[in-house]
Structures are given as C-alpha cells and as structure tokens.
Amino acid sequence: MAKTLVFGHQNPDTDTIAAALATSFFLNTAYQADTEAVALGEPNAETQFALDYFKVSAPRVIEQADTDTVVLVDHNEAGQSVANLADVTVTGVYDHHKINFKSAAPMYFINMPYGSTATILYYEYKNANVTIPAAIAGMMASAIISDTLLLKSPTTTPMDQPALEALAELAGLDDYKAYGLAMLKAGTDLSTRTAKQLIDGDAKSFDMNGQTIRIGQVNTVDIEDVFARRDELVAAIEQELAEDGYDTFVFVVTNILDSDSEVLVLGANQAKVAAAFDKDLVADRFALPGVVSRKKQVVPPLTAAFEA
C-alpha cells in the first residue's frame, strides 16, 4: 500500500478523478513519492465515459483514509473530504476553490483560480519538465472540458484553453470539441438514476455563518425532464434534510446547451436563498438564466447573503 493517498472531494466529478490520477503520477515521478490515487465515491457517467475512452482504470474507492498522510485535490474543506481527515496529516493541496483550510505545519498548498484543477496540474508538469502520459493527458483534458463546459463557463480563464489544447494533442484527440460534447452528453443521461442519485451526484456542503447549506447540481439537455420528477426529488431532499442535519438544500439543474439553470430550494433558509439572487420562489423554485457555475455564480451570492 502506498504511504500517501491522493484524493478529491466526495461525490467525485471528472476533475476530481483526473486530478487525483494526475497528481499521484506527478508526485511519484517528479519527487519519487509513494502515492496512490483513490476516490471517495464511484465515477459518475461522464467520468466513466472518459475513463473508458482513454482505457484508464477507476481509482479504488475508500471511506476512510488508511494511511497517515494524504494529499487533497479539487477541494480543501473538511466537510467535502474523507470522514477521518482530522486523524491524518495533509501534506499537500492542489485546488481551485475558495480556501477554508488550516494547517499547523508547512505544506505544499497550490491554489489557483483556474477553470479546473487539471489546468493547475498541467502547468505543474510543464514547470517540472515531466512528460504527461497520453492516458493521463486525456483525463486531464476531460477534466478541463467538464469544469469549464467546453470553455464556455464563466469559470474559464486564459490559462485553460492553452492547457486543454496541449493536453488534447498529447492525448491524441484530433477534435477535442467533438469528444467533449460527447462526454458532456454522456453525463446528462439521467433516466437510470434515482432521485437520491440525482441530488447527491455532485453535491457539496458549505458552512455559511453557522448554517449548513447543501448545494447539488446536475447537468441536462432538458430541464423540464428533471422537474417532471419533482415529487421524487422533494421527497429525497426532505429525507436528507431530516437525516443528515442540513439546514437548507439548494438543487441546481443546468442546461448545458443554453447555459441556463433552474433551482429547487428546500429547508429553513428558502427565503434567504431566493433573496440572494433577487428572485421570488414559485413552488420552491426559481430560474437563473445564464448561470452554470456553482463555484462562481451560486456560492458567492449565497455566502454574501448569509454573512450580511
């Protein structure tokens, strides 16, 4: 067993899985470290599409970190991490989200406001003059496509497109746009998922001024297809509110083709959530035209509203 585990957040997405794989290979190659990429959940359909395409095995899934040292990727908040994070030593972080992390010891902490963690890692490889294997390059390219919605998300930065183009070339992707659209669409087939899988598939918890806000997001090509299952979704959310102690659940349904979202809100802070976006709730729901990014367009207004 490796001495250090490398993993991303719970309910892993493509960037989390790709970043764990890429970081582990990078650390083992550049620094002769002894690390293993693992995951805190099974790959979603989009990620599995990329893994299958590039013939990469999914990392093993863990519930507890069974080593003394770990490296975090694509997150730095304890509430999104492994259950026993307090019992292990974090020796490094590679992330592109807001910082909510404390450490009593020096460590590698690399946080850049790029479109994906994979973008950060591309430049780490480049700066260290470490060759990226084709399969890992393909996963990293997939991560950038996923997190930036093919460079259309407002989270996209000037650093992302050059990284994506270079990684696509290394991976042998002649047309990364065609591949990316196929991958994103693979992640929007929701017909076989239960309501619980829909609300939890990409959900993260945030502490906002003492309130635990759970924010889930699902991508689709038809928002009303998702809301046709409204009763199931409400029942699943209400069950989680009761059993897991969340104060409020914000479920964002995003159309990746027209870059619009609809939001379903349940829990104690419905009115505050709606007010954060200057919206009125209708049947616990409101529209957010032009909103696709939880990190940049959903979390900041909510944080500001709860801290006001």
Measuring CA to CA, how many Å separate 254 from each of 87, 163, 180? Answer: 37, 25, 17
Measuring CA to CA, how many Å separate 3 from each of 6, 17, 35? Answer: 10, 19, 6
> Are 38 and 60 contacting, i.e. CB atoms less than 8 angstroms apart?
yes
CATH number of 195-307: 3.10.310.20
The one-letter code for the residue type at 90 is V
> Are 140 and 173 contacting, i.e. CB atoms less than 8 angstroms apart?
no
Query: How many residues are present in the chain?
Result: 308
According to DSSP, the β-strands at 248-255 and 260-267 are antiparallel
- What fold, for 4-188? inorganic pyrophosphatase (n-terminal core) (3.90.1640)
Q: How confident is the model at residue 133 (pLDDT cuts 50, 70, 90)?
A: very high
Model pLDDT, residue 2: 75
Mean pLDDT calculated for residue range 153-178: 97
On average, the pLDDT of the chain sits at 95
Mean pLDDT calculated for residue range 107-118: 97
> Are 250 and 257 contacting, i.e. CB atoms less than 8 angstroms apart?
no
Query: Among 250, 236, 233, 263, which Cα is nearest to 303's?
Result: 250
Give how far the C-alpha of residue 288 lies from the chain's centroid of Cα atoms, to the nearest Å.
20
- Which residue bears the tokens 């307090």? 86
Condensed to tens digits (0 to 9), the pLDDT of residues 3-61 reads: 999 999 999 999 999 999 999 999 999 999 999 999 999 999 999 999 999 999 999 99
Model pLDDT, residue 1: 65
Condensed to tens digits (0 to 9), the pLDDT of residues 39-52 reads: 999 999 999 999 99
Task: Name, in order, each residue with C-beta under 8 angstroms of 110's C-beta and a sequence gap of 6 or more.
Answer: 92, 93, 94, 95, 120, 124
* CA angle at 292 for the pair 291 and 295, rounded to the nearest 5°: 100
Condensed to tens digits (0 to 9), the pLDDT of residues 185-214 reads: 898 888 888 999 999 988 999 999 999 999
The C-alpha atoms of residue 139 and residue 219 are separated, in whole angstroms, by 19
Spans of all domains in the chain: 4-188, 195-307
DSSP string, the chain: --SEEEE--SS--HHHHHHHHHHHHHHHHHS---EEEEESS---HHHHHHHHHTT-PPPEE-SS--SSEEEEES---GGGS-TTGGGSEEEEEEE-S------SS--EEEE--SS-HHHHHHHHHHHHTPPPPHHHHHHHHHHHHHHHTTTTSTT--TTHHHHHHHHHHHHT-S-HHHHHHHHHHHTT--TT--HHHHHHTT-EEEEETTEEEEEEEEEES-HHHHHTTHHHHHHHHHHHHHHH--SEEEEEEEETTTTEEEEEEEETTHHHHHHHTT---BTTEEEETT---IIIIIHHHHHHHHH-
Mean pLDDT calculated for residue range 290-298: 93
Q: How confident is the model at residue 82 (pLDDT cuts 50, 70, 90)?
A: very high
Tokens of 195: 């309501």
